[in-house]
Structure 1
Amino acid sequence: MDLTTDYLGLRLRNPLVASASPLSQSVAGVQRLADAGIGAVVLPSLFEEQLRREADRDARLAEAGTDSFAESLSYLPPTADVEAGSSQYLSLLSRAVAAVDVPVIASLNGVTAAGWADHATAMQDAGAAAIELNIYYLPGDPEVSGREVEQRHLDILARVKSVVSVPVAVKLSPYFSSTGAVARRLAESGADGLVLFNRFMQPDIDPERLAVTSGVQLSSRAEARMPRSWIALLRERVTASLAATTGVEDAGDVAAYLLAGADVVMTASALLRHGPQHTGVLLAGLTDWMNRKGFTSVDQARGLLSVPCTSDGSAYERAGYLAAIQQATIRYGS
């Protein structure tokens, strides 16, 4: 059975990729994922806010002068290990690359184009097989137009692509007025891959505590429908690699994403729930499914149920909507 696949021009031993999570925030964690059989690993993101904090700290230290260096450190707020700066991140990256024989992908998370180039170059120099741009931006200002939001993504991509030679993927949110158009513009502007989709961790309100709360909820299988639909629509319409993420729990979810047209299937929630060893369960289940369906390679299954480029994508989505309404009427109608 041939599970090998291509993603971002990289040859992977299988289409299963560990997306950024606490499992990959240490060399030991990356090793456990690789030993479990994962095809590639995405490190947790280096955040723009961390880089700003680091730059502000350096500026304050420079202003204080060398004589007060030690004392000035006490004026800075403590920083948790998970918020370590770029030097710690690059150390993790280089050590992880040396420790495993699968591609290690670095991740940058931010919302502006400023300051990304140097850090992307440093990631490449540290051995990153590729860079994932996790552009986590949900505009809260009603004066910001959709065109401005789209241009921000293009500017960040252009800035990073101008200084690195390794592949660059963009992790998108689904919240655009025309997601397909944004995807095509990014691919035409040099994005080697698109990761669909980012999950926004919006705050919520606790009515008992009268407080705003925040937290992370692991994804559910139901959330896979949106990225799967867009991957099926984009498969024959963009040149960039397509990575699926969100809603992966078992091998059936992996197979469904491949049939839609995903080059790789990323997962974090399933591995956090069940541990890195769940990788083997997913791969064994995928192999069993391929045997039952008569596929001898992942390539034979990939995109089998994608939307042909000659079809009307809008009509495809509309037909799915109408079919769902009809089924709901039959099932729940009086």
Structure 2
Amino acid sequence: MDLTTTYMGMTLRSPLVPSASPLSEDIDNIKRMEDAGAAAVVMHSLFEEQITLERYELHHHLTYGTESFPEALTYFPEPANFRVGPEEYLNHIRKAKEKVGIPIIASLNGSSVGGWTDYARLIQQAGASAVELNIYYVPTDIELTSEQIEQTYINILQAVKAAVTIPVAVKLSPYFTNMANMAKRLDNAGADGLVLFNRFYQPDINLENLEVQPNVLLSTPQAMRLPLRWVAILYGRINASLAATSGIHNARDVLKMLMAGANITMLCSVLLREGINHIRCIEQEMRTWMEKHEYESVQLLQGSMSQKNCPDPSAFERSQYMKALQTYKPEWERMYESSYYLG
């Protein structure tokens, strides 16, 4: 049974890849993921704000008091010339590479064009096999147009691509006027992979403290329908690899994503719930299903039910929406009909 797949030019032993999460903050966990069958691991994110803050703090300390002694400024180079940033993240990548033999994919999380994207070069030098560019952008300026927002994504990608030679994937949200066109633009701009989709964690309001607070909800299997649809639509239309993420909890979810056209499937919430060893369970269930249905390899599955290859391409568009509404029956009505026919 051949489970190998290719993602951004990397040959992986299977399509099972843990996505960015707190689990990867521990080197031992990364080793446990490899032992359980993970084909690669996406590291927890390094945030734009972390890099920007450290540079700001360094600049503050270097220039403090120099307004009284202007000549003191000449003793130091400009802050931009300093090799600064969260060294712990780079060391974490180095240690992970020493510990495991699978690809380590770094995660850069940001929302604007700036010097923080240069950190991708340091990430490559630390040994990362690829970079996942997590563009977490929630525009609130009502004067900002969709064209300007989309161009920001392109500019960030191009800045990172200019800094590294390793593959770069873009993890993006589904909130674009034309998702298909945005995918094509990112593909044309050099994205080696697209990760569909980013889950924006929405804030909540604490009624007792009257404070806005973070609220993290783990995904449910129902969340996979959105990436499933767009993976199926994009398969065969762009050159970039496709990674499916969100709502993937068991082998059946993985198999569906592969049939839609995904190169890999990313696991997060299920590992936080069930533990790292659940990767092994998913792989075994995949093998059992593939053997039963006489699929000898992942390649035979991949894209077989995409929009490109599906007997009814309209199933991924508006017709499926209308059919779903017309055929839906409330639970109470189905129970009533069942009891009626049973006498």
Q: Is the TM value for this pair above 0.5?
A: yes
Number of the residue aligned with 1:195: 195
Code of the residue aligned with 2:2 in structure 1: it is D
Number of the residue aligned with 2:94: 94
Task: Give CA deviations for 1:167-192 in whole Å, capped at 9, x if unaligned.
Answer: 00000100001111000110111100
Secondary structure of 2:57 counterpart: helix
Number of the residue aligned with 1:22: 22
Cα distance in structure 1, aligned partners of 2:5 and 2:12: 5
Structure 1's 142 and 172: CA in aligned 2 closer, same or farther, altered over 3 A? same
Cα distance in structure 1, aligned partners of 2:18 and 2:316: 31
Structure 1's 310 and 277: CA in aligned 2 closer, same or farther, altered over 3 A? closer
Number of the residue aligned with 1:242: 242
Number of the residue aligned with 2:141: 141
Question: Identity over aligned residues, as a percent?
Answer: 46
Structure 2 contact 187–238 (Cα < 8 Å) conserved: yes
Cα distance in structure 2, aligned partners of 1:236 and 1:114: 33
Cα distance in structure 2, aligned partners of 1:142 and 1:266: 34
Cα distance in structure 2, aligned partners of 1:225 and 1:100: 33
Secondary structure of 1:43 counterpart: strand
Larger CA Rg, structure 1 vs 2: 2
Give the TM-score normalised by structure 2: 0.88
Question: By how many angstroms is 1:64 displaced?
Answer: 3.4
Number of the residue aligned with 1:119: 119
Structure 1 contact 243–263 (Cα < 8 Å) conserved: yes
Question: What's the RMSD between the two structures over aligned residues?
Answer: 2.1
Question: By how many angstroms is 1:245 displaced?
Answer: 0.2
Question: By how many angstroms is 1:143 displaced?
Answer: 1.4
Secondary structure of 2:317 counterpart: helix
Question: By how many angstroms is 1:269 displaced?
Answer: 0.5
Code of the residue aligned with 2:27 in structure 1: it is V
Cα distance in structure 1, aligned partners of 2:61 and 2:213: 34
Cα distance in structure 1, aligned partners of 2:333 and 2:55: 60
Secondary structure of 2:163 counterpart: coil
Secondary structure of 2:114 counterpart: coil
Question: By how many angstroms is 1:210 displaced?
Answer: 3.8
Cα distance in structure 2, aligned partners of 1:136 and 1:64: 33
Code of the residue aligned with 2:167 in structure 1: it is P
Cα distance in structure 2, aligned partners of 1:120 and 1:59: 21
Q: How many residues align structurally?
A: 317
Structure 1 contact 116–159 (Cα < 8 Å) conserved: no
Question: By how many angstroms is 1:310 displaced?
Answer: 10
Number of the residue aligned with 1:295: 295
Secondary structure of 2:328 counterpart: helix
Whether 1:41 aligns to 2:41 is: yes
Structure 1 contact 18–266 (Cα < 8 Å) conserved: yes
Cα distance in structure 2, aligned partners of 1:149 and 1:134: 15
Cα distance in structure 2, aligned partners of 1:300 and 1:314: 23
Code of the residue aligned with 2:248 in structure 1: it is V
Whether 1:132 aligns to 2:135 is: no
Code of the residue aligned with 1:47 in structure 2: it is F
Question: By how many angstroms is 1:316 displaced?
Answer: 3.6
| Alignment gaps of 5+ in structure 1 | 67-83
Structure 1 contact 254–265 (Cα < 8 Å) conserved: yes
